[in-house]
Chain A
């Protein structure tokens, strides 16, 4: 039985009278691939934001690798080993691909102003290490070296998505949160993404938690699927179990093709 890496207990979040998350219990096992699905507006991204420290829930506890996450600021959460990508792709504009990925290494290094100004040997070593680490992450996600000096936002959309994943991996996380990583990808790119996520788990030992609307991708990839509807966790289990769960089917019934949505 693998250890639980991330554990949410009884998390509730509300804005201006709207309940966004209601007493959510949720966990992710170390080194596993888990998915979070649910109709639009169910609160999935809000859950991510609670985990990463951008939203503060009104009640509940979140524990990661033995550390309580709730009192932490977002940058501290990242330092404990959680990294994320964004639904709307937020690469740093006017900066190159490699510089974008190097940002992930900031929290794992420490050279400051003095080291920079005096060009100390330790600073120079660290700079090389940062660059090498970023290069390794880029190779891992399959971005060709010829692209690295280009401005990140000029890359093809699918490549930009991979750069964002490389950037998150550069923070050396134990858990990677991917917010709709397949949005806007072609069929071929989605297959590549499935392979990549598998390799992230197998070769780097990083647990992955996805929010995704493409349920066939979710069902193929995940060891465990959790379903959120209107802020309430209505089901959890293996992909098979979720596909045949009546509550889940009902939650999706409002959508045009509920059957297709559940990839039955």
Chain B
């Protein structure tokens, strides 16, 4: 019933064009078909780029729960990415575990880290939280670089690629479909969360913390839920990243990486799933297209971010006009 539909749909401005469920279904179907045949149509190089984009989609969706839904500025998200990747790396190479068995461990490690860091700090004001998360990200990266068990500066290599019911997931095409599946799951989970009691609670806390408390909402617990869910997305992304590349090193988990994830969330349209997906693709594809410009393209991103914040904070994704 339209009267009870709580919020303008996630499609934003495209709602005018895609105004019936049938049209929306067709659009999604078309996209899925294109994604399904992409490796055969666009060739191996494009496949690798798309796989990377899908990885960013997963991570951006996770960070979107933290930043876009709950409104917490997390500047150290790469830490959870690292936790997932190193859990897999260490358990498979040092202890010979089966990849699939390491996933629960990676997730638990991320949840644990999220609770340890988030628990005491999420009640701080947002500026402090931003810096604390940044500090945490750095602590994880420096620890990875210094400790023997994480392979110090050279990291971990020779990570075995997994088998699933007789299918050896090893080629770029294989990983493309794995990441595509993960991205789809990630999207469904995000959609369900945003339309739930918890998803609403994030918005209440984000828009007016004190009023939310007055309505009986435990804001620290609500924020912690967002932070931990974000951590889970991050670590799963990291786990599959590790077996895709078969080698990981501390450089992949720096502050620069955290800012790239953040840019993916914000550029496309923070808080809206299509926007976040778009942002992820922009962040991965733009450097490919702007290849010749070298480090100049980072400057372009940064300027882009600044311009977006000043002039179009809702992001690039079209916004429904009211």
Q: Do A and B come from one complex?
A: yes
A-side residues, CB < 8 A to B, are 52, 54, 73-75, 78-79, 83-84, 86, 90-96, 98-99, 102-104, 106-109, 111-113, 115-117, 119, 123, 126-127, 130-131, 135, 145-146, 148-149, 151, 167-168, 171
- A-contacting residues, B193-243, CB 8 Å: 193, 195-201, 203-204, 207-208, 210-219, 225, 229
Can you pick out 11 interface pairs between chain A and chain B where the beta carbons lie within 8 Å of each other? Answer: A73-B218, A75-B218, A92-B204, A92-B207, A92-B208, A111-B198, A119-B192, A126-B197, A131-B4, A148-B4, A149-B3
Report the separation of the CA atoms of residues A98 and B7 in the bound assembly, to the nearest whole angstrom: 10
Contact B3 A106, beta carbon cutoff 8 Å: no
Contact A116 B217, beta carbon cutoff 8 Å: no
Measured between beta carbons, the chain A residues less than 8 angstroms from B214 are 52, 54, 74-75, 78, 83-84, 86
Minimum CB–CB distance from B270 to chain A (whole Å) comes to: 13
B6 is an interface residue with CB less than 8 A from chain A = yes
Contact B201 A113, beta carbon cutoff 8 Å: no
Report the separation of the CA atoms of residues A262 and B125 in the bound assembly, to the nearest whole angstrom: 44
Contact A109 B3, beta carbon cutoff 8 Å: no
Minimum CB–CB distance from B246 to chain A (whole Å) comes to: 31
Report the separation of the CA atoms of residues A37 and B198 in the bound assembly, to the nearest whole angstrom: 38
* Contact partner, A95, options B3, B7, B189, Cβ 8 Å: B7
Measured between beta carbons, the chain A residues less than 8 angstroms from B189 are 117
Interface contacts beyond A54-B210, A102-B6: sample of 15 additional A-B pairs, CB < 8 Å, sorted by A: A54-B213, A54-B214, A73-B218, A74-B213, A75-B214, A75-B217, A78-B215, A78-B216, A90-B210, A92-B207, A95-B7, A98-B4, A113-B198, A116-B192, A149-B5
Minimum CB–CB distance from A86 to chain B (whole Å) comes to: 7
- A106-B6 contact in complex given A54-B210, A92-B211, A116-B197, C-beta closer than 8 Å: no
Minimum CB–CB distance from B193 to chain A (whole Å) comes to: 5
Contact B4 A113, beta carbon cutoff 8 Å: no
Report the separation of the CA atoms of residues A171 and B201 in the bound assembly, to the nearest whole angstrom: 14
Measured between beta carbons, the chain B residues less than 8 angstroms from A78 are 213-216
Report the separation of the CA atoms of residues A93 and B197 in the bound assembly, to the nearest whole angstrom: 17
Contact A149 B2, beta carbon cutoff 8 Å: yes
Measured between beta carbons, the chain B residues less than 8 angstroms from A151 are 322
Report the separation of the CA atoms of residues A115 and B197 in the bound assembly, to the nearest whole angstrom: 10
Measured between beta carbons, the chain B residues less than 8 angstroms from A135 are 4
Query: Scoring B residues 1 to 24 as 1 if CB is less than 8 Å from chain A, else 0, what string do you get?
Result: 011111100000000000000000
Minimum CB–CB distance from B70 to chain A (whole Å) comes to: 12
Contact A104 B211, beta carbon cutoff 8 Å: no
- A106-B192 contact in complex given A90-B208, A111-B197, C-beta closer than 8 Å: no
Report the separation of the CA atoms of residues A119 and B197 in the bound assembly, to the nearest whole angstrom: 12
- A99-B200 contact in complex given A75-B216, A90-B208, A117-B193, C-beta closer than 8 Å: yes
Query: Scoring B residues 282 to 317 as 1 if CB is less than 8 Å from chain A, else 0, what string do you get?
Result: 000000000000000000000000000000000000
Measured between beta carbons, the chain B residues less than 8 angstroms from A119 are 192
Contact A106 B217, beta carbon cutoff 8 Å: yes
Report the separation of the CA atoms of residues A104 and B217 in the bound assembly, to the nearest whole angstrom: 9
Contact B2 A103, beta carbon cutoff 8 Å: no
* Contact partner, B6, options A98, A104, A107, A112, Cβ 8 Å: A98
Measured between beta carbons, the chain A residues less than 8 angstroms from B6 are 95-96, 98-99, 102, 149
Report the separation of the CA atoms of residues A91 and B210 in the bound assembly, to the nearest whole angstrom: 11
Report the separation of the CA atoms of residues A84 and B216 in the bound assembly, to the nearest whole angstrom: 11
Contact B7 A113, beta carbon cutoff 8 Å: no
* Contact partner, A146, options B3, B7, B225, Cβ 8 Å: B3
- A112-B198 contact in complex given A74-B214, A75-B216, A75-B219, C-beta closer than 8 Å: yes
Contact B200 A90, beta carbon cutoff 8 Å: no
Contact B207 A94, beta carbon cutoff 8 Å: yes
Contact A90 B211, beta carbon cutoff 8 Å: yes
Query: Which residue in chain A gives the minimum CB-CB distance to B222?
Result: A106
- A86-B211 contact in complex given A75-B217, A171-B216, C-beta closer than 8 Å: yes
* Contact partner, B196, options A111, A145, A148, A149, Cβ 8 Å: A111
Contact A109 B207, beta carbon cutoff 8 Å: no
Of A52, A75, A108, A126, chain B has the most CB atoms within 10 Å of the CB of: A75
Query: Which residue in chain A gives the minimum CB-CB distance to B226?
Result: A113
Minimum CB–CB distance from B50 to chain A (whole Å) comes to: 26
Minimum CB–CB distance from A105 to chain B (whole Å) comes to: 8
Contact B204 A117, beta carbon cutoff 8 Å: no
Contact B204 A116, beta carbon cutoff 8 Å: no
Of A117, A127, A167, chain B has the most CB atoms within 10 Å of the CB of: A117
Contact B196 A92, beta carbon cutoff 8 Å: no
* Contact partner, B215, options A96, A107, A113, Cβ 8 Å: A107
Contact A103 B212, beta carbon cutoff 8 Å: yes
Measured between beta carbons, the chain B residues less than 8 angstroms from A54 are 210, 213-214
Query: Which residue in chain B gives the minimum CB-CB distance to A81?
Result: B216
Query: Which residue in chain A gives the minimum CB-CB distance to B197?
Result: A111
Report the separation of the CA atoms of residues A119 and B4 in the bound assembly, to the nearest whole angstrom: 19
Measured between beta carbons, the chain A residues less than 8 angstroms from B207 are 92-95
* Contact partner, A106, options B193, B204, B225, Cβ 8 Å: B204
Contact A113 B193, beta carbon cutoff 8 Å: yes
Query: Which residue in chain B gives the minimum CB-CB distance to A173?
Result: B216
Contact B216 A113, beta carbon cutoff 8 Å: no
Measured between beta carbons, the chain B residues less than 8 angstroms from A83 are 214-215
Measured between beta carbons, the chain A residues less than 8 angstroms from B2 are 149
